[in-house]
Amino acid sequence: MAKPINLHDFRALAQRRLPKIAFDFIDGGADDELGMLRNREAFSSHQLLPRYLVDVTKRDQTVELFGRQYSSPIGISPTGMAGLFRTGADAMLAAAAKKANVPFLLSSASNLKIEEAARIAPDNVWFQMYVTSDPHINHDLVKRAKEANVGVLVITVDVPVNSNRERNRRNGFTRPFRMTPAIMLDALTKPSWVIEYLKAGGMPMMSNWQPYAKPGASADEVADMYGTLTPAPMTSWETIAAIRAQWTGPLVIKGLLHPDDATQAVSIGAQGIIVSNHGARQLDNVPSPLTMLPAIKAAVGDRVTLMLDSGVRRGSDVVVAKCLGAQSCIFGRPTLYAVAALGQDGADQALAIMHKEIDAVLTQIGCGEFNKLDSRYLQTPR
């Protein structure tokens, strides 16, 4: 493959470079992985209805989210442990988001500190956090995001328990993680990855959690500590309300699928909701976010900014989601594949490809302005 021409191509390139244990961590879902198929099938159940003989010489796909204007209605979903797949991947993704002027949702499970990410892309970094079982750590994470001048805080709420990701279990990618002979033998089949991994010192540090570990804790010890703090099944709406009281900026809740939960999020003061099923990595037998989007839009109306995550792979997917009520879409696996395969250039290319595809679709359907898309441009077979 001389050069990737769509997001699917990055997956193939990443599979060639990464050992199976690493590739499957990105690629896999929960249980039978049928939820991932439903996420994609949901988009194919809608067709775009073009209008021709419209002057589309000029196109505009800019969007305004929480008081900031972005160049495209896309963003990078939070993806933990990106540094395992490419040393410095989080910084590369932040830089790519800055270059493309789109949001980058830095995962709290990243290998890059909040403060460092905010310095790289101060206008583009949002901070995603998992609520932990320790209220003091929760408070400190929010405080650090605030002091780093992060624009948007995103709380992921769809991980009350570790999911059954069978690929990870079969490959031995579990906590506590130990490098077994079988894992090492497989890794040796991908020498370029192994060399980079060893040069970086082995397992990358989960830097956001290092301050809460014992002095001098290794990367494995910090990861194991993180595993004792999350998931936090005691998390409730009262927990979110306490964070809302502390955080003065825009608050986004990620991982909602039920319209009643969306209404509750609005009632506690959330300004945004990311309709998501975690890329079908948590619960396999679950509706696709796109399927639930119209009901959530009907429940919350224009009181909150709606975004969508899970299964987005094409510019046409973003257009379909907009027609159903989402103001923006984010995606994680494709940008991880891209940065793992080609580093900074891959991350840049992935976002540029999506921007180009959205522009082409807007032109083809006769709607030059992304913000003017609505259900009139959509045909959904009964």
Confidence of residue 174 (pLDDT cuts 50, 70, 90): confident
Q: What is the pLDDT of residue 177?
A: 67
HSE-up (13 A, CA, CB side) for residue 61: 25
Q: What is the pLDDT of residue 382?
A: 67
Tell whether the model's pLDDT for residue 232 goes beyond 80: yes
270: CB partners within 8 A, 6+ apart: 240, 244, 251, 252, 253, 304
Q: What is the pLDDT of residue 173?
A: 85
Largest CA distance in the chain: 67
Q: What is the mean pLDDT of residues 106-119?
A: 98
Q: What is the pLDDT of residue 187?
A: 86
Span 40-76, pLDDT tens digits:
999 999 999 999 999 999 999 999 999 999 999 999 9
Tell whether the model's pLDDT for residue 234 goes beyond 70: yes
The least confident of 133-142, 186-195, 346-355 is: 186-195
Tell whether the model's pLDDT for residue 211 goes beyond 80: yes
- pTM for the model: 0.97
Task: Spell 151-173 as b/e; 16+ CB within 10 A means b.
Answer: bbbbbbbbbeeebebebbeebeb
Task: Spell 314-349 as b/e; 16+ CB within 10 A means b.
Answer: bbbbbbbbbbbbbbbbbbbbbbbbbbbbbbbebbbb
Confidence of residue 362 (pLDDT cuts 50, 70, 90): very high
Tell whether the model's pLDDT for residue 377 goes beyond 80: yes
Span 296-330, pLDDT tens digits:
999 999 999 999 999 999 999 999 999 999 999 99
State how far the Cα of 287 lies from the Cα of 141, in Å rounded to an integer. Answer: 31
Confidence of residue 188 (pLDDT cuts 50, 70, 90): confident
Confidence of residue 158 (pLDDT cuts 50, 70, 90): very high
Mean pLDDT of the chain: 96
Q: Tell me the helix, strand and coil percentages in the chain, rounded to 5.
A: 50, 15, 40
Tell whether the model's pLDDT for residue 126 goes beyond 80: yes
Q: What is the pLDDT of residue 301?
A: 98
Tell whether the model's pLDDT for residue 133 goes beyond 90: yes
**Residues recognised as catalytic:** 278
